[in-house]
Chain A
Amino acid sequence: MLRIVGRNTLSIVQALGDFALFLGRSFRAAAGSRKIVRRIMRAGFEQGVRCLPVILIVGMFTGLVLGLQGYYVLNKFGSEGLLGTLVSLSLVREMGPVLAALMLVGQAGSALAAELGIQRNSEQIAALETMGVSSYAYLVAPRLIASLIVYPLQTALFVTVGLVGGALSGSVLLGLESGVYWSAVERAVESQDVRECFTKAAVFGLLTIGLCSYHGFNAHRNRSSTGARAVSASTTRAVVQSCITVLAADYVITSFLV
């Protein structure tokens, strides 16, 4: 039993170290990479523009549901006027960064892990290395840097649309005064909340895109399967670990910032 625990602990520590080295190598390689700005823009487009519809839709429905649920709960205490406070703080502090990150993992992260896995399988990554091109700088670093910009922007959009959704539920559907809702939002959200929101978004972006890149990039190291199965296994692992990491990191960051 002790041996199993020890072995698993060692393998977890080894994996964490390997992941940290992967991130470190990628950022270091980015320093000397040519035409990296163009590749960051392309990665930003893939993570940002392509994920925009899902962010808008999920953000709107999250706001609508929060508005509905919040209104009925607050109504019991005669505090409907605090609906703006409830919706805005829920979205800015927790739901915005977490749900936006999960949506981005589902859309951009899974695609990234699969793309890198296929590139590894078809020897495109080996081809880069034989050309003297750093695969870390060419394939991974632009995605990581783009995530630091895209995740906070997408989160801001998610929160904004969510607030509008809350207003639609509260004001249009349930008859709460629109001014009451928006003034509660304005009073509740402080700069500290916005900072926390953006910090979480950037950390989630780095961790999830890093994990998805790591698993896709190392698809060939999968011992239990090869070829297409290895790509599918690494994509699944990337998405599952990214989702768990978002929730775990959310708890850690919140406990530090609150």
Chain B
Amino acid sequence: MAAPVPEPLLQIEGLHKSFDGHAVLSGASLAVPRGCLVSVLGRSGAGKSVFLKCLADVLRPDAGTIRFDGRLLGAGDVEAWADFRRRCSFLFQSNALFDSLTALENVALPLEQTTGLSGKEIDGRSLEALRQLELDAHRDRYPGQLSGGMQKRLALARAIVTRPELVLFDEPTAGLDPLRRNAVFSMIAKYQRQFGFTAVVVTHDVPEALVASDRVALLDQGRMCFEGVPADFSASNDGVVHDFRDSIAALGSTLAAIRRGEASSSADP
């Protein structure tokens, strides 16, 4: 018998978003259970980042509803959104670190601006976050002086320093080699379990997402065409899921066919 799915912390229904008449999201829905790591998969340009930015209020959806912890986040409900922002962090694909601030100042920024903590408490919590992500030796360095992986960890330190209940990750492994992709996914999974936050990760890295996630969803043509546990995703016979999941196998068959064609043509007299 399958384990019961925890109640959703985030519930998205029928999200629509268009740019200049071009529909990117057309009724995307997703339930994010509390304490789970949910990966939203999809091809490049499928609207994954737009979907995530609508959740974070960076973009305003044309239609649809978002509920956080049972509360509707209405378009003009300033108080509900303020509560959501207090309890949620967003990790941008570009990290969005302040290049004129040191690593410590970057991490301390949300605490300084959104809490009434004293300077000593802010420093203590920021240093703790840096230490947990093994960046305490680089506290006085600027983001430009850190490697790509360190910048990613610094962005994560800034995201978790406020002890959020929900962290949204926008393509955290974009442009990374396979080893670094694995490292980023294991870092997300490790800290998600350590700090107990709920995570939504937007990515197109299928193998890593299937291993690290509790649940996966597949976004295609503006809608979620699959939502479930990784085992069901692996076993699904749905055409879109099959194409996306088995793209490497498909590439292998295509290449094998090309090679066979070359071999037969070279064997021709």
Contact = CB atoms under 8 A, between A and B. Distances in A.
B92 A132 contact: no
A132 B96 contact: no
A18 interface: no
Say which size band chain B's interface belongs to.
20 to 34
Contacts of B92: 123, 126-127
B58 interface: yes
Contact of B96 (A33, A35, A126, A138): A126
B58 A133 contact: no
B89 interface: yes
Interface in A98-144: 119, 122-124, 126-127, 129-133, 138
Contacts of A33: 113
Nearest to A125: B96
B229 interface: no
Interface string B247-263: 00000000000000000
A195 interface: no
Contacts of B96: 122-124, 126-127
Contacts of B89: 130-131
A34 interface: yes
Nearest to B82: A132
A119 B143 CA distance: 14
A132 B86 contact: yes
Interface in A74-90: none
Contacts of A35: 112-113
Interface in A146-186: none
Contacts of B113: 33-35, 131-133, 138
A129 B98 contact: no
Contacts of A132: 82, 85-86, 110, 113-114
Interface string B55-74: 01110000000000000000
A126 B90 CA distance: 10
Contact of B98 (A34, A124, A130): A124
A124 B109 CA distance: 12
Contact of A130 (B90, B97, B109): B90
B94 interface: yes
A133 B85 CA distance: 9
Given A130-B85, A132-B82, A123 B94 contact: yes
A54 B142 CA distance: 29
A131 B98 contact: no
Interface in A198-239: none
B57 A34 contact: no
17 contacts: A34-B112, A34-B113, A122-B94, A122-B96, A122-B99, A123-B92, A123-B94, A124-B97, A126-B92, A126-B96, A127-B90, A129-B58, A130-B58, A130-B85, A131-B109, A132-B85, A133-B114
Interface of A: 33-35, 119, 122-124, 126-127, 129-133, 138
Given A131-B89, A131-B114, A132-B113, 12 more contacts: A33-B113, A35-B112, A119-B98, A123-B92, A126-B58, A129-B58, A130-B58, A130-B88, A130-B90, A131-B85, A132-B86, A132-B114
